[in-house]
Structure 1
């Protein structure tokens, strides 16, 4: 058994409860798959008490299994808005108030797109939109009028509210929906046919289940976004909502590894991707890692031994992660449904780091030009 598969099996058989019901891992070097593994099933439980799900509602996980990518959505949205920056429709450093008038007073005038995608906007991490506001319009209004928790540019606060704002900004300046923008500017050009918002019902049996949520009368969530705020806003917003397969997520990662182009198709300019993957945090702001445009850089919490050499990537709450190490010509993707049947599972961080370590071992001695 290859090391990657061994790790995924270990997560599937962990006690007192498995980390997930299913997982897919890919380690790719120089555009070629070096290790690939799938384990488990798309669902295992009917509720949080551990009642086994009926077999007809579960399938073995394969390369075709679709996962809720959670906050990896932010990377798709960042790529989308950066295409708008390249076209001059948006600017990284123009006040967001130029397009969103609710940002036109006080310190809110200092909020820029660059600060939004580096999580230095001063906006709060979260608001319980799904619970504390009664309808979709009031929730959108709450996003656009969210109070700052600090002066923009003075600290790091990982902010879903910031990325909800990014999504609204993209829709405002183009007059198009976020699913249309992501499809036409990212997933379509990259040939990602199973990646996007709001997966159709015809693909439901390929989608990994997430959490059992009786309080919101959602039951076992499957085929609709797990994140409550995204769900309450229709499932197609800036911080969460995109679903996809591991193989297709590798294509996004490879595009970034190759400075914006893949298979002869250019999605972003080289200089744009260079900015994405270089530290953009203001002087004196140190959250324990570096941060580019929409990407974490050298974050040991999920990159393990790959952190420290300029590796970049992102994670998702549902148990997803990707890491790119250009020096090693390496892409590591891990997709799981670690919130199934409950988010009160064991920490998946150690597995993420262990999988990254397998990537490092696979490329030991390999580097740029080797």
Structure 2
């Protein structure tokens, strides 16, 4: 109770005081102020996004770009759903999906590494001690895990544990009303058994590990990180993030389970779930694994509006500093955003995604992300249609938000049309002519 009161007081303070005048804080400007052509930007971005909506890549989207510390573009397009009842607005809140990995789990892990409470090259089992009994996992390091080099399986469908063979919900795990044993809320009238997380951990413990150490994207340990962070800090995962990052950064919409918080901002819906929730998913996390943890996870579950995301990415791009406050040492940030295993054809940093190793040599169709980004750049994508990227060399932060999974995750034209990279490229090619 005291913690919640303290957080409330701090939140009021940051809300009332508003933006700082520090030079390391994002402010608003025009493309021309940073040497870019606003007319060309609007023309090309509008064309790409409009085509995406027409091709049903998404019903609506939002783009924010900050360059040289100035937000020079922030536009909303289309609608929340294809019925066109609610237009997208620039302060709408989105389900970030796997962008959660670098905006929730990762900052906590980075801080603990910075403080010497986690070490990248020690066995992860030194901290997650239940792995000491697992011969295939006891020697895996945190560095290997964060760079997706550990050989872990990509995904376990934990929803299979709560749905029976006939598609019904197992009452031993799911209730429609809360009680002492079922207090973790999954959706409006769905509550998961409190200790279901332990079943998830056991299945992760017993999962296979490939002996071929190469890049295979896996989100399994990000389901573990919240519990590990709580064990190390003696503070709940979401409280730790609020206190150390979201409140001091003044990012009020950034957090978990927004349906419980009464925001005036609209929350953009995701998929019409025909398997588990049997309704349009809105205000609760789309990812089923995160939902079975009560919506508070490290793999998915974070929500935010674009400007809040931009502050966090700007802090990373400034190597751990924002508004005069240092969140991590410069050395820690540079280590995490560095490619870890290039000799194994693995482009990844520690938690952060990176450009393809030969990205600058590729066409837009083959590159990831835009071929013009610097090799020092970093970010992450999300399954729901989200994407964030920061480029220290070009001092550019790029935020793309959409709900491409509406009404169904079968809508994949966001990928086939390469929309996120195409929009990003515009801001590298829109340099004002000096003629």
Counterpart for residue 297 of structure 1: 354
Counterpart for residue 145 of structure 2: 116
C-alpha spacing 1:185/1:113, structure 2 compared with 1 (3 Å)? farther
Partners of 1:306 and 1:325 within 8 A in 2: no
Deviation at 1:223, TM superposition (A): 0.4
CA RMSD of aligned residues (A): 2.2
Counterpart for residue 326 of structure 1: 392
Counterpart for residue 35 of structure 1: 73
Deviation at 1:307, TM superposition (A): 4.4
Partners of 2:374 and 2:391 within 8 A in 1: no
| TM-score after normalising by structure 1 | 0.87
Q: 1:312 and 1:104 mapped to 2: Cα distance?
A: 33
Counterpart for residue 344 of structure 2: 285
1:19-34 matched pairs, under 5 angstroms: 19-34=57-72
Q: 2:400 and 2:310 mapped to 1: Cα distance?
A: 10
Partners of 1:197 and 1:243 within 8 A in 2: yes
Q: 1:68 and 1:196 mapped to 2: Cα distance?
A: 10
1:2 aligns with 2:43: yes
1:129 aligns with 2:139: no
1:21-62 C-alpha deviation (Å, 9 max, x unpaired): 221101211011222211122233xxxxxxx48x4xxx3211
Q: 1:142 and 1:128 mapped to 2: Cα distance?
A: 13
Deviation at 1:339, TM superposition (A): 0.3
Unpaired runs of 5+ residues, structure 2, are 1-41, 163-169, 174-195, 360-366
1:72 to 99, 111, 115: 99
1:233 aligns with 2:293: yes
1:334-366 C-alpha deviation (Å, 9 max, x unpaired): 00000000001133131011011112113589x
Deviation at 1:89, TM superposition (A): 2.0
Deviation at 1:73, TM superposition (A): 0.4
1:142-201 C-alpha deviation (Å, 9 max, x unpaired): 35414232148x211111112212333212222322211221222222111011111144
2:428 to 356, 360, 368: 360
Counterpart for residue 337 of structure 1: 403
1:257 aligns with 2:317: yes
Q: 1:272 and 1:183 mapped to 2: Cα distance?
A: 21
| TM-score after normalising by structure 2 | 0.75
Q: 1:226 and 1:33 mapped to 2: Cα distance?
A: 29
C-alpha spacing 1:168/1:119, structure 2 compared with 1 (3 Å)? farther
Paired residues, number: 348
1:119-268 matched pairs, under 5 angstroms: 119-132=148-161, 135=173, 136-151=196-211, 154-201=213-260, 202-203=262-263, 206-268=266-328
Task: Indicate the SS of the match to 2:73.
Answer: strand
1:90-145 C-alpha deviation (Å, 9 max, x unpaired): 22222222222221031311122222211122221100112235642453333541
Unpaired runs of 5+ residues, structure 1, are 45-51, 366-370
C-alpha spacing 1:130/1:32, structure 2 compared with 1 (3 Å)? same
